[in-house]
Copies of this chain bind each other. A is one copy, B any other.
């Protein structure tokens, strides 16, 4: 890893935190470059042309190459490390939870946090308000699925701590900022404590 690594990020974003948390577990230094997504800083002509045509952060810059999508950046960083299981089925099962995170968990749990924390409950559009009922139901279903899964497991995979835990920890541990009462899911709560107690763990605001 001779090339300098630059994380294009917003420090409040769980997706950006995933990459910092992965790098911390691996002891890999990252240079950080901050953007304010509420101020259009990831929508400038320059950002779209050089960093990410999709107008989103995080993007991990590896020398002169740019890698968008948080879970893909984590996978690149952790390639060959113990954060990715060697067994082919376990590897696919880890990706299964990471795809599920982006498809079912993030659009509900993280989006509710975005609406309440970034936009503000009093500033929601009618369209945002109309979507809340489904997002809350989907978020509760996602957290319930994790809670049931974690009743007889220390981590998301039986093989141990992996990127699946990092990907899901990022927005789950701040789900209360999106209005979800984590006390309802005790196995999930114990898993959150277990992840936070790992050596090398770093909090979101570090």
Residues of A within 8 A of B (CB): 53-54, 62, 65, 67-73, 75-76, 79-80, 88-89, 91-93, 95-96, 98-100, 102-104, 106-107, 127, 130-131, 133-134, 145, 148-149
Contacts and interface: CB of A to CB of B under 8 A. Distances in A.
Contact of A67 (B79, B93, B103, B104): B93
Contacts of A80: 88
Given A72-B96, A96-B72, A89 B107 contact: no
Number of copies: 2
A98 B99 contact: yes
B75 A95 contact: yes
A96 B68 contact: yes
Given A127-B134, A130-B127, A131-B131, A54 B100 contact: yes
Contacts of A102: 99, 102-103
Contact of A76 (B75, B88, B145): B88
A76 B134 CA distance: 32
A157 to B, nearest CB: 12
Contacts of A107: 103, 107
B67 A89 contact: yes
Contacts of A133: 127
A134 B128 CA distance: 10
A114 to B, nearest CB: 14
